[in-house]
């Protein structure tokens, strides 16, 4: 039996997008494009250039950067071997030292990126960007992957728009300017109900002491906590502060707060970040529970919430991560950045009525007759060149049917081209909203359409 015949016998199967992933469709994609275009424009005014890192990286990059104990790395990554099977083989022979380093790196486990800060730091080191004028300011946008439980505003393939400032000083003005950039972007988009929450989680001098203190206090109230938080007392007590479990809230509010246990330099730094925000007229609230779910942070952390998002209301998260580049084999380098959840940003814009509505073509060309087709093709070409969206039916239709179609598509105008119009050189333009009609010469028509577009925009 030929391959073709075998195929024919297969039962048809309908496919659906995998759980937690979705198709973005028009007209919504117009909003995505507007958001992304605005990001390109606003970020450029702050001196950021775009980086496009790959979508998969060695698993170990994320394990080191984000942290092996974090939910993201321990539970949520899409990890596979590259190529299939070789990783296990290499793993076995690694101890015997049989394979070259190159083959080893080829065979490493790889993961779809759950975030992009690790990739940007890897690229900074790989391309010796510390030799460029510092700091290096980069932004990115694209899909990220986390195997979380899907719900409103939470997907397994989601999109981030993020930015990182690497190298140079750790002046608090940089923290404040990065936040100012996000706020400017949100403001430009008309995002509503924007609230900035900030915190300082100290550094390697003061945080370990605080974590110990927190652990001791948590042990005392252990029986008031749920199983997740009980487990975290040992693994990562800071994350208990993050808990949304209703029954734990009262207990958590009474726990010692990191801002009261910062060392002098972290406290001064935090005070200066707040002063820098105030100079910029940025309103914030302090939230001692803002510890973030990734291990690389130190000192400044922040999150931004917006309207209409339900429980998944963080539309942006970020913070400072001095030391991450060093952890990934680079020289000591300061770093701070953020990532915006683009899906949530879009959702919030839609909820507040900022979504574009589906738009029909500006001009529908109703043509009939062989001569008319050639003229219609030329008219479509000229109108499109002038920036108008044009629908040109591929086959001849009676005018009544064509006008019905133009209406259905929501076209603004119908250009009527029959043999008479063509031979007279006078074209009929019908405004579909009010049914009015007028005749124009070819150049006259273009001028008229241009003028009415300028008035309406």
Interface residue list for ligand HAM (CB under 6 A): 115, 117, 146, 148, 153-155, 158, 160, 162, 164, 293-294, 314-319, 337-339, 341, 343-344
Terminal Cα distance for the chain, rounded: 62
Nearer to ligand HAM, 202 or 341 (CB): 341
Q: How far is the CB of 21 from ligand HAM (least distance, A)?
A: 11
Positive or negative, the CA dihedral 109, 113, 118, 119 is positive
For ligand HAM, give the closer residue by CB, 202 or 319.
319
CB of 305 to ligand HAM, least distance (A): 9
Tokens of 34: 């507007």
Give the nearer residue to ligand HAM in terms of CB position, either 198 or 316. 316
For residue 69, give both structure tokens: 């104990």
Rounded to a whole number of angstroms, the minimum distance from the CB of residue 341 to ligand HAM is: 2
DSSP 90-153: HHHHHTTT-S-HHHHHHTSEEEE-S-SHHHHHHHHHHTTGGGSSSSEEEEEEEEEE--PPPBTT
| Shortest spacing between CB 10 and ligand HAM, in angstroms | 35
Residue showing the smallest CB distance to ligand HAM in the complex: 341
Closer Cβ to ligand HAM, 186 or 427, answer by number:
186
User: What SS3 state is found at 296?
Assistant: coil
Least distance between ligand HAM and beta carbon 99 (Å): 33
Distance between CA atoms of residues 142 and 390, nearest Å = 31
Closest CA to 352 of 186, 104, 172: 186
CB of 256 to ligand HAM, least distance (A): 24
- The number of residues in the chain equals 457
Pair of tokens at residue 59: 């698993």
- CB nearer ligand HAM, residue 136 or residue 376: 136
For residue 63, whether the previous peptide bond is cis, meaning omega lies within 30 degrees of 0, is no
Instruction: Give the residue with the Cβ less far from ligand HAM, 151 or 265.
Output: 151
C-beta of residue 156 within 8 angstroms of C-beta of residue 21: yes
User: Of 197 and 215, which CB lies nearer to ligand HAM in the complex structure?
Assistant: 197
**DSSP 3-state of 226:** coil
Q: Compute the Cα dihedral for 343, 349, 351, 354 and give only its sign.
A: negative
Shortest distance in whole angstroms from residue 354 CB to ligand HAM: 17
């Amino acid at each position: 039996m030929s391959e073709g015949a075998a195929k024919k016998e297969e039962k048809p199967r309908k496919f659906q997008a995998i759980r937690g992933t979705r198709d973005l469709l028009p007209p919504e994609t117009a909003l995505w494009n507007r958001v992304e275009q605005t990001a390109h424009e606003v970020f450029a005014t702050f001196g950021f250039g775009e980086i496009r890192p790959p979508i998969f990286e060695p698993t170990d990059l994320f394990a080191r950067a984000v942290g092996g104990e974090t939910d993201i790395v321990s539970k949520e990554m899409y990890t596979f071997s590259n190529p299939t099977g070789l990783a296990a083989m290499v793993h076995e022979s690694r101890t015997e030292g049989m394979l070259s380093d190159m083959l080893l790196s080829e065979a490493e486990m790889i993961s779809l990126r759950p975030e992009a800060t690790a990739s940007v730091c890897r690229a900074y080191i790989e391309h010796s960007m510390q030799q460029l004028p510092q700091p290096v300011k980069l932004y990115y946008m694209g899909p990220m992957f986390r195997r979380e439980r899907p719900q409103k505003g939470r997907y397994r393939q989601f999109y981030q728009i993020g930015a990182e400032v690497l190298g140079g000083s750790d002046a608090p003005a940089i923290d404040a300017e990065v936040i100012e950039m996000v706020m400017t972007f949100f403001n430009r988009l008309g995002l509503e109900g924007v609230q900035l929450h900030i915190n300082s989680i100290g550094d390697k001098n003061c945080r370990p002491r605080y974590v110990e203190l927190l652990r001791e206090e948590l042990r005392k109230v252990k029986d008031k906590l749920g199983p997740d938080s009980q487990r975290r007392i040992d693994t990562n007590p800071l994350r208990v502060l993050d808990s949304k479990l209703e029954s734990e809230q009262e207990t958590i509010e009474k726990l010692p707060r990191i801002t009261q246990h910062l060392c002098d330099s972290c406290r001064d730094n935090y005070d200066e970040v707040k002063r820098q925000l105030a100079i910029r007229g940025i309103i914030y609230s302090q939230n001692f529970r803002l510890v973030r779910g990734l291990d690389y942070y130190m000192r400044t952390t922040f999150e931004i919430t917006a309207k209409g998002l339900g429980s998944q209301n963080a539309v942006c998260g970020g913070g400072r991560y001095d030391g991450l580049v060093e952890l990934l084999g680079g020289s000591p380098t300061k770093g701070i950045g953020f990532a915006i959840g683009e899906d949530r940003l879009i959702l919030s814009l839609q909820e507040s009525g900022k979504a574009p509505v589906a738009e029909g073509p500006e001009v529908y060309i109703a043509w009939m007759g062989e001569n008319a087709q050639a003229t219609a093709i030329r008219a479509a070409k000229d109108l499109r060149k002038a920036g108008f969206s044009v629908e040109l039916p591929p086959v001849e239709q009676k005018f009544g049917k064509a006008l019905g179609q133009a209406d259905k598509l929501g076209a603004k105008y119908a250009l009527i081209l029959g043999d008479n119009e063509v031979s007279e050189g006078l074209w009929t333009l019908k405004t579909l909203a009010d049914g009015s009609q007028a005749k124009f010469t070819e150049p006259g028509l273009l001028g008229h359409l241009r003028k009415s577009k300028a008035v309406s925009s």
